[in-house]
Amino acid sequence: MATFVPLLTRDQIDRLPERAREVVEYRKSGLSLNHIQGCSLGCAYCIRHTYGLWDENQPVALMSDAEAVRELVEHRYFQPQMTPVQLFNRATEPFLPKVRPHTFAVLEDLDRRELTNHVLVITRHQLKPDDIGRMNRLRHLKVTLLFTYSGIDDQRIEPYPSHVAAASLKLMSAPTERRYRTVLYWRPLVPGLNDSAEHLAAAHELGTHADATVFTGLFYREEIAAYYKANGLPEPYEDTARRKIVPETLERRILGTFNDSRKLFRKTSCAVSYVHGVPDYNGHYGVRELCDICPLVQLGRCAQAHRVPTAEDIHDVARVLPEVEGLEVVDISPRAAVVSGLTTEQPRYFLQHALGFQVHDVRHPHHAHRHGRADIGWKGTTP
Number of residues that bind ligand SF4 (CB under 6 A): 13
| 308 is a site residue for ligand SF4 (CB under 6 A) | no
Residue 261: CA count within 13 A, CB half-sphere: 21
| 290 is a site residue for ligand SF4 (CB under 6 A) | yes
CB of 265 to ligand SF4, least distance (A): 6
| 270 is a site residue for ligand SF4 (CB under 6 A) | yes
| 183 is a site residue for ligand SF4 (CB under 6 A) | no
Closer residue to ligand SF4 (CB): 237 or 274: 274
Of the candidates 92, 273, 352, 358, which one interacts with ligand SF4 according to CB under 6 A? 273
| 302 is a site residue for ligand SF4 (CB under 6 A) | yes
| 294 is a site residue for ligand SF4 (CB under 6 A) | yes
| 258 is a site residue for ligand SF4 (CB under 6 A) | no
Of the candidates 224, 280, 324, 377, which one interacts with ligand SF4 according to CB under 6 A? 280
Of the candidates 299, 308, 311, 321, which one interacts with ligand SF4 according to CB under 6 A? 299
What span, in angstroms and rounded, lies between the C-alpha atoms of 111 and 117? 9
Which range, of 5-13, 146-154, 191-199, 282-290, touches ligand SF4 by CB under 6 A?
Answer: 282-290
Residues that bind ligand SF4 (CB under 6 A): 267, 270, 273-274, 280, 284-285, 290-291, 294, 298-299, 302
